[in-house]
Amino acid sequence: MIRETLEKLSKEAAEQINEALAKENALEMLERIRVLYFGRKGKITELLKDVGKLSQAERPEAGSLVNQVKKSIEASLESAIQGAKKRKRESRLKSERLDVTLPGKSPKIGSLHPLTQIERDISAIFARFGFSVVRGPEVETDWYNFESLNIPKDHPSRDMQDTIYISNDLLLRTHTSPVQIRVMQQVKPPLRILCPGAVYRHDFDASHSPMFHQIEGLLVDEEVTFGDLKGVLGFFAREFFHESKVRFRPSFFPFTEPSAEMDIQCFICHGKGCVVCKQSGWMEILGCGMVDPSVFKHVGYDAERYQGFAFGIGIERPAMLKLGIPDIRLFFDNDVRFLRQFQ
């Protein structure tokens, strides 16, 4: 009796296992078969319980028969499960295969900000005369920004309207000229320095930004004349703007005497007059002059022995002119669509 039942059961199990193996979800089906035979109410489990109920005489043989069949079904189930797992792994490997010969995504490479590029271009021109780059703090004291530069207490640039104050004595530097003072306090002449950096003023529209950049230049030596100033700055204009005509207009700065502003002939219309130069034929580029002896006194230089010239170039305006940028604010929005154009 039990022999027949067991034979039938083995055959059934073998068929079910084969069927399961043919299915997409073979592993799931095999697990179901395992429960069907060996679960708490599984067919083999029940048979083993029945064996327990047999008489002492019948039990050993029946028990060994059931155990044999149990082992054989277990073994074929186990090998079926292993086979199904292997197949699953292989099909995953196949479907997830990476084609390493496909072209990759090239990383986007950043570039220097256009203002940094212009600052470096300008510095490189003056480097040929032996000027080296020095930087100073953007938060300054009243003394460095104004007093030492001979800017009197009632000068309009000291007004709250123009200067951004942090406290009574501290402010955001309104120009790069205080770096001149800091360097002269530490270094004896002769010296040739360029001081690039950010400066701050109360101003904001299409051509003014509350933060903008300047490059200060200072040369101090014996027997320096206004002719030297004209020679060096004229050379700069030719190199940077490729425009040979410059003119010096008399001007005033408290820390230089005499003072001047340098214009270049408009490199768009070459002097005929156009929208860029507002029909004047000229473009204003920088302020300059011979260092006022009173500035030398503030830093302990012998004003009888030494002379010097200084200049201050705004970086944004030449950059806008050269790169054809209509609005200063574009420099500071940091829109990559804008910045990418200057790679």
> Which residues sit at the interface with ligand PHE, rule CB under 6 A?
175, 177, 216, 253, 256, 287-289, 310-312
**Distance spanning both ends of the chain, measured CA to CA:** 90
User: What does R_g of the chain's alpha carbons equal in angstroms?
Assistant: 44
Question: What token pair was written down for 217?
Answer: 């230049």
In angstroms, what is the minimal distance from the CB of 334 to ligand PHE?
Answer: 25
Nearer to ligand PHE, 146 or 241 (CB): 146
In angstroms, what is the minimal distance from the CB of 169 to ligand PHE?
Answer: 20
**Nearest-angstrom CA–CA distance, 186 and 169:** 22
In angstroms, what is the minimal distance from the CB of 289 to ligand PHE?
Answer: 5
Nearer to ligand PHE, 66 or 288 (CB): 288
Nearer to ligand PHE, 34 or 317 (CB): 317
Shortest-Cβ-distance residue relative to ligand PHE:
312
Nearer to ligand PHE, 226 or 342 (CB): 226
CB atoms near residue 213 (< 10 Å): 20
Nearer to ligand PHE, 143 or 338 (CB): 143
Nearest Cα residue to 158 out of 201, 105, 100: 201
In angstroms, what is the minimal distance from the CB of 223 to ligand PHE?
Answer: 20
- Max distance between CA atoms of the chain, in angstroms, equals 133
Within the chain, residue ranges assigned H as helices are 2-22, 26-38, 43-53, 59-95, 114-127, 142-145, 177-186, 226-241, 293-299, 316-323, 330-333, 336-339
In angstroms, what is the minimal distance from the CB of 256 to ligand PHE?
Answer: 5
Instruction: Return the ∠ at Cα 124 (arms to 119 and 129), rounded to 5°.
Output: 130
Nearer to ligand PHE, 70 or 173 (CB): 173
In angstroms, what is the minimal distance from the CB of 181 to ligand PHE?
Answer: 12
